[in-house]
Amino acid sequence: MLRIVMAFFSTMGIRIAVCISLLVIVCSTSVYGQLCPDFYDKSCPNVLSIVNSVVMQAVAKEKRMGASLLRLHFHDCFVNGCDGSILLDDTSTFTGEKTANPNNNSVRGFDVIDTIKTQVEATCSGVVSCADIVAIAARDSVVQLGGPTWTVMLGRRDSTSASKSAANNNIPPPTSNLSALISFFQAQGLTTEDMVALSGSHTIGQARCTNFRNRIYNESNIALLFAGLRKANCPVTGGDNNLAPLDLFTPTAFDNSYYNNLQFQNGLLHSDQQLFKGGSTDNRVSFYAVHPDAFFNDFAAAMVKMGNIKPLTVNNGEIRKNCRKIN
């Protein structure tokens, strides 16, 4: 009898182990690669609430921070994948991505990520990656500003390197025309439809005068009243860092106003207005302008897709203790 009981529990142990293994396999072979939404459910169950709390406080203090945290995720993922490389500081022997042209004196929110990381480390040290924190913070920022939510896939690890040259070459500049924008996004495995939806992130945030000066003074496909309004704070020379909202009417609300702006030639950046200029993306812009729910759904889906760009998982990369430096 004892042997039968022992054999039974032995068999049950094997079955339990197999079930656990299958759960891991399900996570690692999902349509989102090796990422899954419940990655930290056991190892750090409070991580989502910690991130959300810090983001809520940061956005309440400065609504622009919501756009900055969202942009931080974009600029991370477009450079060798969503691996937290954008967070690394330069040292005497290491050059990171912060001083690349698209990021220098422009990308913000590093202090918010630091605050989140400190609180997460105090709860579950060495468990949650900086790359995942950036991804969660981007989602929570959009929600705080009235936008859609989505399930953030988790399990990324942090890179031990960065690439200033890739940041300079892979992130679409504000001078991009439509064909260039399509190519930039296709290089990351994102479709033209994804690109139009993700461009809607410019319904929040601000841009520096240096990035839209040429448009307001030299381009013809811009509303005269809009150009005049922006010239008041962006002179022909000087004032490079003067800011203007990317969305003319609701600059701190995540909505579909961005697409309405484009229809009336009120796009702030050259690259924005390229989406509605008699080209292949005009119809989708018009569709999102009158169907905000469709924009929200497509934006959320595209964010999940973007968040899965070449993540480091399993034994690749590391879990940084300090997001600004390699362990």
Q: What are phi and psi of 72, to 5 degrees?
A: -60, -40
Would you name the residues annotated as active-site residues?
75
Q: Is residue 247 part of an annotated ligand binding site?
A: yes
Cα angle for residues 261, 187, 131 (degrees, 5° grid):
85
Q: Is residue 81 part of an annotated ligand binding site?
A: yes
Q: Is residue 191 part of an annotated ligand binding site?
A: no
Each as own residue / partner, the long-range contacts of residues 40-43 (CB below 8 Å, 24 or more positions apart, any chain) are: 40/124, 40/127, 40/128, 40/132, 40/154, 43/124, 43/127
Q: Is residue 89 part of an annotated ligand binding site?
A: no
Half-sphere CA count of 262, side-chain side, radius 13 A:
30
Q: Is residue 79 part of an annotated ligand binding site?
A: yes
Largest CA distance in the chain: 92
Tracing tokens 């005049």 back to the chain, one arrives at 228
Q: Is residue 33 part of an annotated ligand binding site?
A: no
Tell me the three state secondary structure of residue 258: helix
Q: Is residue 111 part of an annotated ligand binding site?
A: no
Tell me the C-alpha distance between 254 and 87, whole Å. 25
Tell me the C-alpha distance between 308 and 153, whole Å. 8
Tracing tokens 């953030």 back to the chain, one arrives at 152
Q: Is residue 140 part of an annotated ligand binding site?
A: no
Can you say which residues are annotated as belonging to the binding site for heme b?
Answer: 202
Can you say which residues are annotated as belonging to the binding site?
Answer: 76, 79, 81, 83, 85, 97, 172, 202-203, 247, 250, 255
Can you say which residues are annotated as belonging to the binding site for Ca(2+)?
Answer: 76, 79, 81, 83, 85, 97, 203, 247, 250, 255
Can you say which residues are annotated as belonging to the binding site for substrate?
Answer: 172
